[in-house]
Amino acid sequence: MRHTLLEHDERTGWALVHTCPEAVQRYCVCYRYDKQAGDWAQGHYTDDLLDAVEMYRAETGRPIGATAIRSILADAERALRPLVRRAFEPNEGVYRLDDMGSYVSEADFESYWDGKPEWRRKAWMLADNGAYTEADVAEMSVGQIEKAYDDPCFEPEYAFYTIADEDGFC
């Protein structure tokens, strides 16, 4: 099979490869990758680079990297920014997206993240939100992201969950 090796962890034997542009599932996270033969024992295939990076980084315990966190932030921005509103139902759950007071409904926010790995939402929430920069999050493994987000001392400054007042304003 024609492929491009993107990353290989000699210690664990895991590799991340781009199979070929015309493949339906263009990325593979492979176990027991043989650099000489350009082959592997088994693999998990996906068409989503973030899924592949997540699997690879989780298997090797490596940081998610700058590309992954930039993609998480940009994708969320593109999807959530058009859903920003000024008013909501009274006492409706909302999420504040930034330090500019941009809010989306809880339903819209949860709908965007539904079906995505939970660590991605946590990474989004951690990045540039008071305690960690985007670069800090890029240097975290999936496990470290989970731990940092779940730490009771983490209190987001900009992006967070809140409730609209009785008039539907935040």
Contact 137, 64 (CB under 8 A): yes
CA separation, residue 126 to residues 18, 120, 130, 131 (Å): 29, 10, 8, 7
Q: List, for residues 60-92, the tens digit of each pLDDT value.
A: 888 988 988 998 999 999 999 999 999 999 999
User: Is 2 a residue whose pLDDT tops 90?
Assistant: no
Angle subtended at Cα 19 by Cα 14 and Cα 140, rounded to the nearest 5 degrees: 45
User: Is 147 a residue whose pLDDT tops 90?
Assistant: yes
